[in-house]
Amino acid sequence: MAQTEDVLRITVICVGSAAIFLNVIFLVSLSWVKESGTAFNRFMKSLSVSDALGSLMFIIIMYCPPGFFGVTQKENFGFLRALPYVSRSVPWMFFTAYLLTLSCLTWSQYIAVYKPWSYKKMLTQKVVSATIAYIWLVSSLQVILPMLVVTALSVYSRRQLDPMPLLHKIARVEIHVWMCVFMTSILYNICTNITVYLKLKTLLKKHRSRCYSDNAAIRKKQHSFITVSLLLLASIFCRLPLPLASMIGISVIEDEYSVILHASLALLLFLNFLVDPIVYFIRIKEVRKGLKTLSTVYLRPFHV
């Protein structure tokens, strides 16, 4: 059993590190793309940032030195000692940012298919920047609110108030809130993607006998639609088991298997962080060109 735990732990670290590396490479490669400022690419950047930071934060929380994220003691409860508790909410912030960004990406695809003539007017750089800012602001509430609670409890700790029951209750509420956001986002994305798919299918039949440029534009939208759909499927498969296990409670499982279950759920999560940039590189031709340009610029001295 111990050997299995060690193998899973090493695997999770390797997959998580690879996910961080690939997401960083994607972000750098995308910066070399001429059209990196489009709404689609900017939403992709937000997704990649949330994946990279989420992977990094989970590695830190799971494998930090013992006690750093340990139980907060009642008699020594203070603001600084309680900060590690707040950091447990940071991964949920990245989760929420990812889901909201994916929903906005689906929304942008809907506009591109149903209102192509007003796409550039509706999704200007100012609108996209404001949308991404709101996404991260709303997501950060999952850290800000626990921080405010911890601050208030640190003030009243002199009255021998036991903070842990309330902190655990807040953690449970956070999981339920995230599950509501997750399910709402998934249902919205699925319904919108089905609508976009039907519309694309109709457009392809309608423009089949027309000029090549019309068909090429529709094919490009279809290509983007498939990319977003793959990200959605990966998100459902890899991200849903972890909060479900947290809500149901894994205490019903024997202790000897609970560690393996935790590691397996974390591995699924890290696989999502890793699969996303792979999808980007496979599906987005411009990013591959950016990576080629990047490698040419930085690896040229080694070929001389």
pLDDT in tens, 104-131: 999 999 998 888 888 888 888 899 999 9
Per the CB < 8 A criterion, the answer to whether 96 and 205 are in contact is no
Question: Using CA atoms, how far apart are residues 67 and 207, in angstroms rounded to an integer?
Answer: 63
Q: What pLDDT score does 84 carry? A: 63
Residues of the chain with pLDDT under 50: 65-74, 77, 251-254, 302-304
Q: What pLDDT score does 299 carry? A: 58
Break the chain into its structural domains and give their ranges. Answer: 2-303
Which two three-digit tokens encode residue 256? Answer: 């000897």
What angle, rounded to 10 degrees, do the helices at 90-114 and 212-239 form? 160
Question: Which CATH code of 3.40.50.1100, 3.40.50.300, 1.20.1070.10, 3.40.50.170 fits the domain covering 2-303?
Answer: 1.20.1070.10
The count of other CB atoms within 10 Å of the CB of residue 265 is 20
Which two three-digit tokens encode residue 38? Answer: 């489009």
Q: What pLDDT score does 21 carry? A: 93
Question: Using CA atoms, how far apart are residues 270 and 93, in angstroms rounded to an integer?
Answer: 16
Q: What pLDDT score does 127 carry? A: 92
The count of other CB atoms within 10 Å of the CB of residue 190 is 15
Tell me: the pLDDT tens digits for 32-46? 877 777 888 899 999
Which two three-digit tokens encode residue 103? Answer: 């929903």
Cα angle 198, 106, 206 (rounded to 5 degrees) comes to 30
Question: Using CA atoms, how far apart are residues 285 and 195, in angstroms rounded to an integer?
Answer: 25
Q: What pLDDT score does 134 carry? A: 94
Tell me the residue type at 86: V
CA distances from 91 to 28, 143, 202, 230, 252 (A): 23, 9, 41, 22, 25
Which residues are CB-neighbours of 155 under 8 A, at least 6 positions away? none
The 8-class DSSP code of residue 72 comes to: P
